[in-house]
Structure 1
């Protein structure tokens, strides 16, 4: 039997395997305008791939073994779940009018999306039917789908989102998602339950011999950071693109990307081994709160697919692949979860003594490191074949540099395939790449009526984006439009590359970091009214009536916050508002762009006082001291340097629990990307929980030296300016607005008189 026949004709029983071939793989992603026969071919290929994967289960018992983590169903569920999905979605769309087996279509309808790493499912496990019954059900549904494809009139014309046949395409891509997730569950099974399938693609790179002491440059490639210039990227699959897409792929967004550096290769096992051997899994300081909880709960000491091959402490490992255990492949990408990737970034920051923290890619940055030609796909016009061919999964023969769509049978060396035009390897394929972004909708997002809860339950700030696909990502998953997500403790064939901000670092010195400005802000924050005004002048003139900006904004935070558990102070400067918030909030993080400001605030947190100088005039200064009230619990406070428009790059802010209240004081008109800053709170609940508040104080001094005029959030008057702010916060309601006059002293005869526009917004 030929390979293509093997992949079109599904085995009728578990003992009938497909014909052996080293070239087995997936068909290109289905062009929905290709006609009935192409649809049938794609369905049969999809079905056969599932059968081929499950033929790796060595015994019937393997179908019923619980995963070691107990957060997923046994594999028998995933053998039947995609099948019942076909039936249920064809019923919803009207392609059929009655169920096949209503009991099965209820039992196998819903999988598990555990809320946390300890959300174990220890319920009854004897609910699963016998395997022969499941196989009979699969046979019946297989014949039904074939009949619908061959006879239903909806396939007489191209399939679109409005077509009832869209439910068929949805079923194909849903099954292909579970092809991949089931392969991870098989990778987690004890080897006694697994065997090599009769038909499976070859390795990308043949496994190297065992070596317990990897050498950089020999056993794994030397990685380097490549510079990416500032750019603008566009997201969103065109509605007329002739393939199936999940609801979250559609919409339109345009994002500005600051300059950054990203690793040329995915982080390899060899690089990650340095973190493991250095005791990274035992050091609390590298892990987020939730990540450390997961690590302790699972007692994890190395990546889950590394297999100990020696006594404790020897750091001798083998590698578990989907179907076998092989010598450790140091040049292959490290397959880890989000928590592990972030811990590695924190460790690497410390090792390199980096001025800016290493982090993961953002979605917009993933677009920025792709081949430049792909950007033309966003302007797709129906019938433009050359644009369709930009998506390599639709013509895989043109994609020799991508390990996806089951071209190969596993992940492989990070330098095995050629770099793209920008110099990056594996921007698509090999393994998925964890991103800093929580899963979120694009503007103009719309739910499709055939599957109303595919994406929306995961817009909760608890699911991290993964991009690029893996070796076993096929169909839509391997497309340039795919946007997928998993909880941070979840394992997928996923790795990561590291990123350093350069746009932020390059601006700091000339913008903020001067002793004069630090002294000025220490006086503004901590000086008494008498210290801020000149005593002699105060007896001769009347200073303008002002309000203490910090006291008033903190008062508004306390007044409107739904609860006083966690607060975030963006643009905290030298920190007094952060300290004052700690009187009433259990935990407060202060963030500022300036290293010098954060150094001063952290000094005060640790030592409670800091000497500074007030400039009087010329060469005359007065020595003063900033002090923190003893009643303030400084252990509640953390300070971090970072960009308020890029909170994903600030590790301390990533503490896995949303904030109740966020203060943005005199910040907005000093940001290069003010809209991007606000979108972080509007597009997901990752930072600000529903019902939480934003307190925004701004003098609205918009200047081209800080912000591109095209990005100004201003208007002809105060009402228009407030309206511009509101347009950036569509998921919020305005609770309060006021004008707040205050002064900042430069010297005894020069003061800056400012009237800030203050507004309070509640997230709906």
Structure 2
């Protein structure tokens, strides 16, 4: 619905924003109330913050932007700003900081939210201030909380102990008519200049020409990836880039994270449940280097960011760039696996209603998809509202991921949304699909 915010009255916009704030907070509370005090303050991996840090950081960002900046109100806890500045302290060091305890954190975020709702009641959305046009600052904070909720969900995957999360199983999969889809290429509008809550690195919209290519109709499955593992893929240097092979040896990688062999059977651990490896689900918890190596082994490559978005948004019948693969309608449960509705990817073929006009499926939700592209700015990029959201990350150190995962909320899961991470990261809910250049007979 966010693309229609400009059509709402001020009161309608207030109501929408309030609903999004409430929805994101309910998820945060669910993820933090699911564990006891010891689990909240424990660091479950040096790659992740303690859950209690994420919780207070969510409140602190809300205070900085909405209470102090938008609202012009007095600080609630100015003394903790440095503790919860993500750029001041590496994740590995955060447990040693004098953090707020769980009870104090909960009290703090409630106090901040009460003040935010008061600010929301009084803010003038038509006051000529870019930060609040169409409720942007509120949307930025909603997305920030939902992104940290996904991060906390990843922390739950890393924790040990009794399982504490539950959700219904996703819909059943189906056999796809074709494993690959030919994409004729063309010119499309990449990025956006009209989505009111789109973040700076998604802007501005710009014309991009894409050459014809072939892309997988669905993400690579566990069953497909297992063939690479069993075929000695992790022992054969031919499939790996120089940096990838060095990482395989240094980290002793032999399979995706959370996979193991028990009594001759491949198993995986998911939120504390150890279960047989589901062969029809998209592979997950692989790093960029693993995705790149599999693609080479399969005689393919990873798609570029432009190819991914073209497949997700372009309608060749009309020449129009859509908001989503299925059209302009915001994601519903029939379209994609989003928002922690299920606690894992759905089997391949589970969302035919979410297919693109060309028949490419599960581009949104299930697993983030690695692309071959570095994180770079679009032509005409302007940092807004602060440099540290995107600008400081641009460069070859980070690879782009697209499409969202089962843990990504719909308010974030735009077809234009750009995620980025180091190519060695495996704790995130990331998989991939392959692409290749077409053979001469496929060019029609």
Matches within 5 A, 1:50-65: 50-57=28-35, 59-65=36-42
For residues 97-135 of structure 1, give each alpha carbon's deviation from its aligned partner in whole angstroms, at most 9, with x where no partner exists.
322112322211216897xxxxx9357625333211111
User: Bigger relative contact order, structure 1 or 2, given CA contacts below 8 A and separation 6+?
Assistant: 2
2:158 paired residue number: 188
- The CA RMSD over aligned residues, in Å, is 3.3
2:437 paired residue number: 501
2:210 paired residue number: 257
Is the aligned partner of 1:414 residue 2:348?
yes
Matches of 1:417 and 1:206, distance apart in 2? 9
Is the aligned partner of 1:453 residue 2:388?
yes
CA contact (8 A) 2:67 2:119 kept: no
Q: Alpha carbons of 1:29 and 1:309: their partners in 2 closer, same or farther (altered >3 Å)?
A: farther
Matches of 2:66 and 2:134, distance apart in 1? 8
Q: Alpha carbons of 1:28 and 1:414: their partners in 2 closer, same or farther (altered >3 Å)?
A: farther
Is the aligned partner of 1:44 residue 2:13?
no
Matches of 1:321 and 1:428, distance apart in 2? 21
1:660 paired residue number: none
1:107 paired residue number: 83
Matches of 2:74 and 2:440, distance apart in 1? 59
For residues 544-584 of structure 1, give each alpha carbon's deviation from its aligned partner in whole angstroms, at most 9, with x where no partner exists.
xxxxxxxxxxxxxxxxxxxxxxxxxxxxxxxxxxxxxxxxx
Is the aligned partner of 1:141 residue 2:109?
no
Q: Alpha carbons of 1:164 and 1:83: their partners in 2 closer, same or farther (altered >3 Å)?
A: farther
1:659 paired residue number: none
Matches of 1:255 and 1:101, distance apart in 2? 46
Query: For structure 1, which segment, 104-113 or 285-294, has the greater mean C-alpha deviation from structure 2 after superposition?
Result: 104-113
2:191 paired residue number: 236
Matches of 1:440 and 1:274, distance apart in 2? 34
Matches of 1:503 and 1:251, distance apart in 2? 34
Q: TM-score if structure 1 supplies the norm length?
A: 0.52
CA contact (8 A) 1:260 1:503 kept: no
SS of the aligned residue for 1:370 comes to helix
Q: Alpha carbons of 1:196 and 1:162: their partners in 2 closer, same or farther (altered >3 Å)?
A: closer
Matches of 1:63 and 1:99, distance apart in 2? 26
Q: Alpha carbons of 1:327 and 1:28: their partners in 2 closer, same or farther (altered >3 Å)?
A: farther
Gaps of 5+ in 1: 1-26, 115-119, 208-216, 350-357, 381-386, 508-764
1:153 paired residue number: 123
Matches within 5 A, 1:338-737: 338-349=288-299, 358-370=300-312, 372-373=314-315, 390-393=327-330, 396-397=331-332, 400-418=334-352, 419-449=355-385, 451-491=386-426, 492-502=428-438
2:275 paired residue number: 326
Gaps of 5+ in 2: none
SS of the aligned residue for 1:437 comes to strand
Matches of 1:113 and 1:279, distance apart in 2? 40
Is the aligned partner of 1:291 residue 2:233?
no
Q: Alpha carbons of 1:124 and 1:28: their partners in 2 closer, same or farther (altered >3 Å)?
A: closer
Matches of 2:203 and 2:32, distance apart in 1? 33
Matches of 1:494 and 1:233, distance apart in 2? 26
CA contact (8 A) 1:95 1:164 kept: no
Q: Alpha carbons of 1:47 and 1:317: their partners in 2 closer, same or farther (altered >3 Å)?
A: same
SS of the aligned residue for 2:96 comes to coil
Q: TM-score if structure 2 supplies the norm length?
A: 0.87
- State which of 289, 296, 302 in structure 1 corresponds to 2:255: 302
Matches of 2:348 and 2:155, distance apart in 1? 23
The alpha carbon displacement at 1:468 in A equals: 1.2
- State which of 49, 55, 64 in structure 2 corresponds to 1:73: 49
2:169 paired residue number: 203
Matches of 2:272 and 2:416, distance apart in 1? 30
The alpha carbon displacement at 1:493 in A equals: 1.4
CA contact (8 A) 1:269 1:334 kept: yes
For residues 649-703 of structure 1, give each alpha carbon's deviation from its aligned partner in whole angstroms, at most 9, with x where no partner exists.
xxxxxxxxxxxxxxxxxxxxxxxxxxxxxxxxxxxxxxxxxxxxxxxxxxxxxxx
